[in-house]
């Protein structure tokens, strides 16, 4: 397993380019199953989860081609036929987002057999709402040896209320409804930019979707969809992670090719804790974090979009270890998303975790140590800690970070960080 060796204490300076959003690219690849025509997707990030999704499509009998472009990969998919509508345990356990093929498979081919995702480091993360919604659309659901078999002889439009806001649940049902007969209304739908981006792609494919980005999405079903070309939105969480990297190293970092409008809650909280960021909604697609900020403690509660994103919680916790005072961080989305706190404490952070609440007392000097990544965003928070720490930090199991950050060590090295990848073979 690869490790990172980071020598901390160096302010970051320069320009860092944000890649395409993993969580927009994954549903977009799944959406290509809804048509037998060619779908061309651009600005696809070169991260492991997208390779996993392409392997899954291949397992289903759908080939895809990849071309390296200046900004990300260009992926072309033509789901003319389906050999085998099964998403196997081996792939689903690697990436829960594999469940995103469920809606398109049932809508287009009338059947799907998908491994239940099982547990995850950050929480139980069931898919009951995905399944309840498909059932309401007319599908039959059967559980069998750790798999769920979903069948439908044509889906029928319906009204479905999410009693918990679910990003991929909204995406799965929105995709399924594009080929259902009649109108579907999703209430209490997720409003994330990635949901909006998916709706934009689907409408380019001939779907008729209104309200994406609001809690109420109306989808008028079509008999078939056609091919389209679409460029994926930039990754707002990667952008937020780099803003935090600039702030915690007291550097001056230009975060380029991002969409400030997707980061309003993060920008507001960074400003409130004393981080100076130039740029914002309505301005150019770039944000600059300036040096000279004295960090102040700030209480933060994660919420569904447009609230403070749970995917930025770990990175913000690391930043608060350097802030003056006590910060209370409340995680409302997942039940076990503080594993990074234990690793940060090994570096000298003063963090008390109690259920879904963590109290961070700062500032504390972080000293380099051997630590271990546990999930995608926790690993990003440990990289930030390594950049700020005195001395060397070795982070093990960086395959977690490779799932969602494209070449993070190269991007950080280009702006002055001392970070090298130690491969297993080394
Ligand atoms: C998406 O996961 C993201 N993944 C996650 O990003 C992100 O953390 C999460 O949304 C929240 O924003 C992708 O988009 C691929 P949810 P998702 O369904 O859709 C409960 C990352 O770091 N729930 O919105 O799986 C669930 O347990 C990843 O890139 C049900 O109870 O999350 C959770 O408590 C991590 N039943 C809450 O809803 C369901 O059927 C929100 O989960 C579905 C969800």
Task: Tell me how long the chain is.
Answer: 426
Query: Ligand 1 centre from 126 Cα, in Å?
Result: 9
Q: Which has the closest alpha carbon to 220: 186, 172, 170, 169?
A: 186
Distance (angstroms) between ligand 1 centre and the Cα of 213 equals: 16
How many whole angstroms from 167 Cα to the centroid of ligand 1?
6
Q: What's the number of domains the chain is made of?
A: 2
Claim to verify: residue 212 and residue 239 sit in the same structural domain: no
Q: Concatenate the DSSP letters of all residues of 143-208 into one string.
A: EETTEEEEE-SS-B--EEE-SS--HHHHHHHHHHHTTSBSEEEEES----HHHHHHHHHHHHTT-E
| Residues 26 and 8 placed together within one structural domain of the fold | no
- The answer on 152 and 246 residing in a single domain is no
Angle, in degrees to the nearest 10, between helices 22-31 and 48-59:
10
Report if residue 224 sits inside a domain.
Answer: no
Structure tokens, 406? 């494209």
Q: For 142-151, how does the pLDDT look when each residue is reduced to its tens digit (9 = 90+)?
A: 999 999 999 9
Residue 136 lies in a domain: yes
Half-sphere exposure of 11 (CA within 13 A, CB side): 13
Which residue do the tokens 């690697």 mark?
94
For residue 132, which atom of ligand 1 is closest to its CA? 40
- Domain span at residue 12 reads 3-18+234-422
Q: Is 142 a domain residue? A: yes
User: Does residue 166 have its Cβ closer than 6 Å to ligand 1?
Assistant: yes
CATH code of the domain covering residue 58: 3.65.10.10
Give the pLDDT confidence score for residue 368 in this predicted structure.
97
pLDDT digits (tens, 9 = 90+) for 186-222: 999 999 999 999 999 999 999 999 999 999 999 999 9
Residues 219-258 pLDDT 10s = 999 999 999 999 999 999 999 999 999 999 999 999 999 9
- Answer whether 98 contacts ligand 1 (Cβ < 6 A): no
183 & 40 share domain: yes
Q: Is 50 in the pocket of ligand 1 (CB under 6 A)?
A: no
Could you say which of 120, 124, 268, 365 is catalytic? 120
**Within a domain: residue 32?**
yes
Q: How far is the CA of 191 from the centre of ligand 1 (A)?
A: 13
Is any atom of ligand 1 closer than 6 Å to the C-beta of 125? yes
119: pLDDT strictly greater than 80? no
Q: Is residue 225 part of a domain?
A: no
- Strand, coil or helix: 373: coil
In a domain, 372, yes or no: yes
Number of neighbours of residue 335 by Cβ within 10 angstroms: 13
Same domain for 8 and 50? no
| Same-domain pairing of 330 and 361 | yes
For the whole model, what pTM was predicted?
Answer: 0.97
Residues 10 and 37 in one domain: no
Q: Decide if 318 is inside a domain.
A: yes
With contact defined as beta carbons under 8 Å apart, do 148 and 142 qualify?
A: yes
User: Do 27 and 13 fall into the same domain?
Assistant: no
Q: Is 258 considered catalytic here?
A: no
Give domain status of residue 226, yes or no: no
């Amino acid at each position: 397993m690869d490790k990172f060796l980071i020598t901390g204490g160096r302010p970051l300076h320069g320009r860092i380019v944000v890649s395409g959003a993993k969580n927009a690219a994954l549903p977009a690849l799944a959406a290509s199953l809804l048509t037998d025509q060619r779908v061309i997707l651009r600005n696809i990030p070169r991260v492991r989860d997208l390779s996993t999704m392409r392997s899954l499509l291949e397992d289903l009998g759908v080939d895809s081609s990849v071309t390296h472009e200046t900004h990300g990969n260009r992926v072309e998919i033509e789901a003319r036929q389906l050999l085998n509508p099964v998403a196997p345990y081996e792939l689903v356990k690697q990436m829960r987002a594999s469940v995103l093929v469920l809606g398109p498979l049932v809508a287009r081919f009338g059947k799907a057999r998908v491994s239940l995702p099982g547990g995850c480091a950050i929480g139980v993360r069931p898919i009951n709402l995905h399944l309840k919604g498909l059932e309401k659309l007319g599908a039959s659901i059967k559980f069998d040896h750790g798999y769920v078999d979903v069948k439908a002889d044509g889906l029928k439009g319906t009204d479905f209320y999410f009693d918990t806001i679910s990003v991929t649940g909204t995406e799965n049902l929105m995709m399924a409804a594009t080929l259902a007969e009649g109108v579907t209304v999703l209430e209490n739908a997720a409003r994330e930019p990635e949901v909006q981006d998916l709706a934009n792609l689907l409408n380019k494919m001939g779907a008729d979707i209104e309200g994406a980005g609001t809690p109420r999405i109306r989808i008028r079903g079509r008999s078939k969809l056609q091919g389209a070309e679409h460029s994926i939105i930039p990754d707002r969480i990667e952008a937020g992670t780099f803003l935090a990297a600039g702030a915690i190293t007291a550097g001056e970092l230009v975060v380029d090719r991002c969409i400030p409008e997707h980061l309003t809650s993060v920008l507001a909280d960074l400003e409130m804790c004393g981080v100076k960021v130039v740029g914002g909604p309505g301005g150019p697609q770039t944000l600059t974090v300036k040096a000279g900020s004295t960090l102040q403690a700030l209480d933060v509660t994660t919420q569904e979009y447009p609230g403070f994103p749970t995917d930025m919680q770990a990175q913000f916790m690391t930043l608060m270890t350097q802030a003056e005072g006590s910060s209370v961080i409340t995680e409302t989305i997942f039940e076990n998303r503080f594993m990074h706190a234990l690793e940060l404490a090994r570096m000298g952070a003063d963090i008390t975790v109690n259920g879904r609440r963590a109290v961070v007392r700062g500032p504390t000097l972080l000293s380099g140590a051997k630590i271990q990544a546990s999930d995608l965003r926790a690993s990003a928070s440990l990289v930030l800690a390594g950049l700020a720490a005195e001395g060397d930090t070795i982070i093990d199991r960086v395959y977690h970070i490779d799932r969602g950050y494209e070449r993070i060590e190269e991007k950080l090295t280009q702006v002055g960080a001392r970070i090298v990848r130690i491969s297993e073979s080394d």
